[in-house]
Amino acid sequence: MQSFLLILPLFLYLAGAISSLWFSARPSKSVRWAFGCALGASFLSFLTSLSLLISGTSLRVSFPGFLPYTRFEILADGLSNYFIGIISLLACATTLFSFAYVREYFGRKSVGFLGFSYNIFLLSMILVTLANNALMFIIFWELMTVISYFLVIFEDTQEEARRAGFIYLVMTHVGSALILVTFFIFFQFTNSFDFDDFRQTGPTLSVILRSLLFLLTFIGFGTKAGIIPLHVWLPHAHPSAPSNISALMSGVMIKTAIYAFIRVVYSFLGADQLWWGLVVLMIGALSALLGVMYALMEHDLKRLLAYHSIENIGIISMGIGMALIFLSLKHYPLAALATIAGLYHVMNHAMFKGLLFLCSGSILQATHTRNIEDLGGLIKKMPWTAFYFLIGSVSISALPPFNGFVSEWLTYQSLLSGGMLSSVPIKVIAPLVGAILALTGALAATCFVKAFGITFLALPRSEHARKAQEAPPAMKMGMGLLALMCGVSGVLPTFFISLLDHVTVSLLNTSVSEKMIYPAGLALIPVESRFSSLSTTTLALLLLAFLPVPWILIRLFRPFRQRIHETWNCGIKLNPRMEYTATAFSNPIQMVFKKLYQPREEVRISYLKKPYFLKSLVYQSHITSIFEERLYRPIQQAILRLSHRVRTMQTGSIHTYLAYIFMTLILLLIFAR
């Protein structure tokens, strides 16, 4: 029965994709079928994965292959079930949101194709996490990449979308090539593409070969995850896609790379090398810090959120990196703690980043702009969207009692536990990375003070902002579901840690939930006794209890009659041009980190009469992406130069081409001999 419930959602996704194309000439019916099937499939898949995770059971379903080495087997173990649950839960929310959101494409774009791509995209992500065969994994991985490429360029009338799609396709296929090389190396030693054979043979390989496979895996999957410096596609692709797709790409698609990396390194390679963990930890710290610093300079709301995806992938990598360090030193309870920290942040990031992208989609649909400098005052026009965006902002800023706080608290505990190990390099590096995580959290809070304040508060800065209207009920339901999860996974972390314990048992044969949870189940105990305990449930209850206190005190000691007046304006009539801008807000940070940003400033002033009477003043500031300018642009230019030289071989002469063929045949004969 459970096998049937595991497979049924896959056919529902296929039914949604086919029916969406079938009814593409009737957009309303296409939307109902496409997203109705997707909603049913994602809800059923979530319930199935949750029941399997709670029971701690694994499922295998095998299908015969039609070609050699193509036996198709799906395996739903603890790690797969956890990621399927996250994908399905976010899919439920984005599908609810999509019922109303995609109506803006009626008459402009093919809604039938969008519904088809949406279902196949979700199906491919589920199959990536279920595949127990390398060839099947690569097929589904490529399907996920290609279908997401078409979703990125869905707004293909915009040059920005086409360029973003090209960068995305190139970068992710470079990563896919490295993953393919990894699996072929495994095949050389196993004569099989089955993951079960990889698990048996991988730990017996030489240290040098396993280290090579680790690097190929880290770079290959790191490209899809968006770690620095392989992140360049992400700030282009996520903003260009429709917002419901952006939520899925940022919330769960890039996490499939985290899933695959954990699967290969933990299960296939037997993580026993200290430097592997150090590499993941340091790259994670760099990604987290630089991701949030570039986000602070962004005024495009969706690009800002995209950079925060890089930041949070860095935080997840910190947890995974510490887990690999603890594994190499045989500290299994601490390795389980760090793994739980990383995996818990995988779920939390999916919830709050999905919420923030859906909120940005609601704003974009109402105002037709992503530039927060053109917004303002939306809290009165769109109060529900503002409320949900605030919850997402508090969650991503790691403030209690929401979910981002819990997973980052667990990550801090893992990092600071590293400072008590016998290894001197870890004693130095782990607390240093902890300090970087603290700085990252402070900068993230600053960034979302800017994002929320400039977008929702003060006066509208454009006609579109003045005419904005609240999102339809279906969109509010989708956002509300994720906002609820941000609260639940923050207030009740003990339930989710109990679920994650099944994952660490399947990966590490180690259980730590009993050490981390008080018998009453309301508080978390540190695995290492020198740290303090935490109860976000108590924090939430105290917060709810004290919320009415200020109002009661005001009513008791200072009775008043409500009077509404304009804001005090020093005798000057206020207008939107007097408001604080996003540029002004982030300018002090830009000045402090000038060496990193390398800003280019341009000021144009015209006078009615010099030097006292200004007519106009235009200020423009642009920052430099050091990775694009210093790393990728030279590579691009070198490839173009090489292409120009190779092009000289195309003479247009049939005699020259016959000579090429003749020379090739001679070389092949020499080689064969």
pLDDT at 562 over 80: no
pLDDT at 69 over 70: no
Nearest Cα to Cα of residue 455 among 541, 521, 364: 364
Return all residues near 269 (Cβ < 8 A) that are at least 6 apart. 202, 203, 210, 213, 214, 217
Instruction: Give this prediction's pTM.
Output: 0.93
Given this model, what pLDDT does residue 561 score?
65
Condensed to tens digits (0 to 9), the pLDDT of residues 252-263 reads 999 999 999 999
How far is it, in rounded angstroms, from Cα 423 to Cα 432? 15
Return all residues near 93 (Cβ < 8 A) that are at least 6 apart. 247, 354, 355, 358, 478, 479, 481, 482
Q: Give the residue-averaged pLDDT of 303-324.
A: 95
Q: Give the residue-averaged pLDDT of 98-118.
A: 92
Q: What's the half-sphere exposure (Cβ side, CA atoms, 13 Å) at 119? A: 30
**Which spans in 423-557 are helix H?**
424-456, 463-466, 473-491, 493-508, 513-516, 536-546, 549-557
Of residues 554 and 625, the one with the higher pLDDT is 625
Which sign does the torsion angle of CA 210, 216, 221, 223 carry?
Answer: positive
**pLDDT, mean over the chain:** 89
Given this model, what pLDDT does residue 637 score?
86
Task: Measure CA 355 to chain center.
Answer: 12
Given this model, what pLDDT does residue 295 score?
94
**In the structure, what pLDDT confidence band is assigned to residue 455 with cuts at 50, 70 and 90?**
very high
pLDDT at 27 over 70: yes
Given this model, what pLDDT does residue 626 score?
84
Quickly list DSSP for 104-127.
GGTTTS-HHHHHHHHHHHHHHHHH
pLDDT at 551 over 90: no
Condensed to tens digits (0 to 9), the pLDDT of residues 194-245 reads 999 999 999 899 999 999 999 999 999 999 999 999 999 999 998 899 999 9
How far is it, in rounded angstroms, from Cα 6 to Cα 84? 10
Residue spans of the domains in the chain: they are 271-492, 626-672
How far is it, in rounded angstroms, from Cα 592 to Cα 613? 32
Determine which helix (DSSP H) or strand (DSSP E) holds 604, and give its type and residue range: strand 600-609
Q: How many helices (H) and strands (E) does the chain have?
A: 29, 4
**In the structure, what pLDDT confidence band is assigned to residue 64 with cuts at 50, 70 and 90?**
confident
Quickly list DSSP for 182-208.
HHHHHHHHHS--BHHHHHHHGGGS-HH
- Is the omega angle on the peptide bond into residue 634 within 30 degrees of 0, that is, cis? no
Beta carbons of 510 and 335 less than 8 angstroms apart: yes
Given this model, what pLDDT does residue 559 score?
60
pLDDT at 272 over 90: no
